[in-house]
């Protein structure tokens, strides 16, 4: 049953409560702030009704006003004498916080209809917020920018097919999380997901770590070792910074992709290896190809599907969203007085260049939660104040170009790349839209 909270400084007539209850409402009544707070703690209300009477001065109804302002997620209806509407305090409250208002005497039929509509509006808003949260979080990644929507679609496609994937992107952009999302949404989800940081492996250890070795294969090999490829059998092997592998290991990896078999170091017998390879790099792998540091045939084997994890500079609209997400996460883990970010912090967060991308943002928010001594995190709590000066700030032209690019991308995605319709929505000619797409390097294949 729908629950209604009535706030009133005077006694509410039983007849009014009975008539509202008859319209399928469970009615609760509070005559002062303490009663209201207890009810708000114990019950869940979507709609509230404030009843004000002509004999009341403003100071006696201030608690009603304060509660209405504090409970912003509720839909409020207020009933009051006609002269009260012109009071400065109440006219602002009606304009800013009320779904509707009624003047006394109450028309009960009209009031119950209004309360029903207010409840319906509360449901619509709640559903919209839930859908927005779902849209902002997909595959364990936070963001609703066009760049992230492109990545989400890429993850979905990669999860549906069992082929190698190459993920590129700067340090801290979430390449491993994207790889894990592909695995967890694929047919291999029940099998292992094994991560190997190729950059951390020395040339001597690479073969043994990936492919394993037999007892006596080299000095010190006192027993057989199972490599990470065998550990990942049936599942997914994620090779981070794959371009740092030596040429010998690259040759063996190519053989795995072509034959689905491996040989342990010092072993003569080929071993079947049912493993999917997802590789990642933050470097310019094309340059490594040109310089002969990476095999061209291996590159084409790995690059069957290519995903790019966008930088925070390409998804500035997601930065504040991510910051709030990390704040909620870390503030729940530690004891802190912080309630959020102050205005300066939000401005610096939005304008900083974030060379370390999501990883840097996460660490700075964690630092802010731990170091702040006030109710709101400041730039200095995150040690961003000094760093954000200069290069971290974008010019007005850069901000406009980034905004233009994001709006055009979003419109093209929404219209399924229908140029005529997108141009109409953007209020530009098709030729102008084509020129803007060329200027911002927007193509169907990178959306």
Q: CA-CA distance, 439 to 420, in Å (whole number)?
A: 18
CA distances from 102 to 56, 86, 281, 355 (A): 17, 13, 63, 55
Residue 324 C-alpha from the chain's centroid: 9
Predicted local distance difference test score (pLDDT) of residue 252 = 92
DSSP codes of every residue in 100-143: EEEESSP-HHHHHHHHHHHHHHHHHHHHHHHHHHHHHEETTEE-
The helix (H) or strand (E) run that includes residue 308 is strand 305-308
CA distances in angstroms from 116 to 71, 109, 126, 128, listed in the order given: 19, 11, 15, 18
Q: How far apart are CA 183 and CA 177, in angstroms?
A: 10
Residue 390 pLDDT = 47
Instruction: Give the integer Cα–Cα distance in Å for 272 and 249.
Output: 18
Please report where in the chains the tokens 């490594």 appear, as a residue. Answer: 288
- What's the pLDDT score for residue 58? 72
> In order of start, what are the domains of the chain with their CATH numbers?
2-134 (3.40.50.2300), 145-308 (3.40.50.300), 313-382 (1.10.8.60), 396-446 (1.10.10.60)
**pLDDT recorded at residue 131:** 64
pTM above the 0.75 mark?
no
Q: Among 432, 412, 413, 431, which residue's Cα sits nearest to residue 422?
A: 412
The confidence score (pLDDT) of residue 389 equals 46
pLDDT of residue 133: 60
User: Over its length of 447 residues, how does the chain's per-residue pLDDT go in tens digits?
Assistant: 899 999 998 888 899 999 999 999 999 999 999 999 899 888 999 999 999 987 777 778 889 988 888 887 899 999 999 988 888 888 888 988 899 999 999 999 999 999 999 999 999 888 876 765 655 678 888 888 889 989 999 999 999 999 999 999 999 999 999 999 999 999 999 999 999 999 888 877 888 889 988 887 777 777 888 899 999 999 999 999 999 999 999 999 999 999 999 988 888 889 999 999 999 999 888 889 999 999 999 999 999 999 999 999 999 889 998 998 899 888 888 877 788 899 889 989 988 999 999 999 999 999 999 888 888 899 999 988 654 444 444 555 566 677 778 788 878 888 888 888 888 888 888 878 887 887 777 877 555
Two tokens, residue 8: 């009133």
């Amino acid at each position: 049953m729908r629950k209604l909270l009535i706030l009133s400084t005077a006694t509410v007539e039983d007849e009014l409560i009975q008539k509202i209850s008859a319209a399928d409402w469970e009615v609760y009544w509070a005559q002062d702030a303490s009663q209201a707070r207890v009810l708000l703690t114990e019950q869940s209300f979507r709609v509230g009704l404030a009843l004000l009477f002509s004999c009341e001065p403003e100071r006696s109804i201030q608690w009603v006003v304060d509660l209405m302002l504090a409970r912003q997620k509720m839909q409020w209806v207020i009933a009051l004498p006609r002269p009260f509407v012109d009071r400065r305090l109440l006219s602002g409250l009606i304009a800013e916080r009320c779904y509707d208002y009624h003047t006394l005497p109450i028309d009960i039929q009209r009031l119950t209809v209004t309360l029903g509509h207010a409840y319906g509006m509360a449901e619509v808003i709640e559903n919209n917020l839930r859908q927005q949260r779902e849209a902002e979080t997909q595959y364990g990644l936070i963001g609703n920018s066009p760049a992230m929507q492109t990545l989400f679609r890429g993850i979905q496609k990669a999860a549906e097919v069992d082929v190698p994937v190459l993920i590129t992107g700067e340090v801290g952009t979430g390449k491993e999380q994207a790889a894990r999302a592909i695995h967890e949404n694929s047919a291999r989800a029940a099998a292992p997901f094994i991560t190997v940081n190729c950059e951390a492996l020395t040339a001597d250890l690479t073969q043994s770590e990936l492919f394993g070795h037999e007892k006596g294969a080299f000095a010190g090999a006192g027993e057989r070792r199972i490599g990470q490829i065998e550990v990942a059998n049936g599942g997914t092997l994620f090779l981070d910074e794959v371009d740092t592998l030596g040429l010998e290991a690259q040759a063996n990896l190519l053989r795995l992709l072509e034959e689905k078999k491996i040989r342990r170091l010092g072993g003569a017998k080929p071993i079947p290896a049912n493993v999917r390879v997802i590789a990642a790099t933050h470097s310019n792998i094309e340059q490594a190809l040109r310089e002969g540091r990476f095999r061209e045939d291996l590159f084409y084997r790995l690059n069957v599907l290519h995903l790019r994890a966008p930088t925070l500079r390409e998804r500035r609209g997601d930065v504040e969203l991510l910051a709030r997400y990390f704040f909620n996460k870390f503030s729940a883990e530690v004891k802190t007085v912080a309630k959020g970010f102050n205005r300066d912090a939000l401005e610096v967060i939005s304008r900083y260049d974030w060379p370390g991308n999501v990883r840097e943002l996460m660490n700075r928010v964690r630092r802010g939660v731990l170091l702040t001594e006030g109710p709101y995190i400041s730039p200095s709590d995150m040690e961003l104040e000094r760093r954000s000066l200069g290069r971290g700030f974008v010019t007005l032209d850069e901000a406009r170009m980034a905004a233009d690019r994001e709006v055009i991308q979003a419109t093209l995605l929404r219209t399924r790349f229908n140029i005529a319709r997108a141009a109409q929505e953007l209020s530009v000619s098709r030729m102008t839209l084509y020129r803007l797409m060329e200027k911002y390097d927007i193509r169907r294949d990178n959306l």
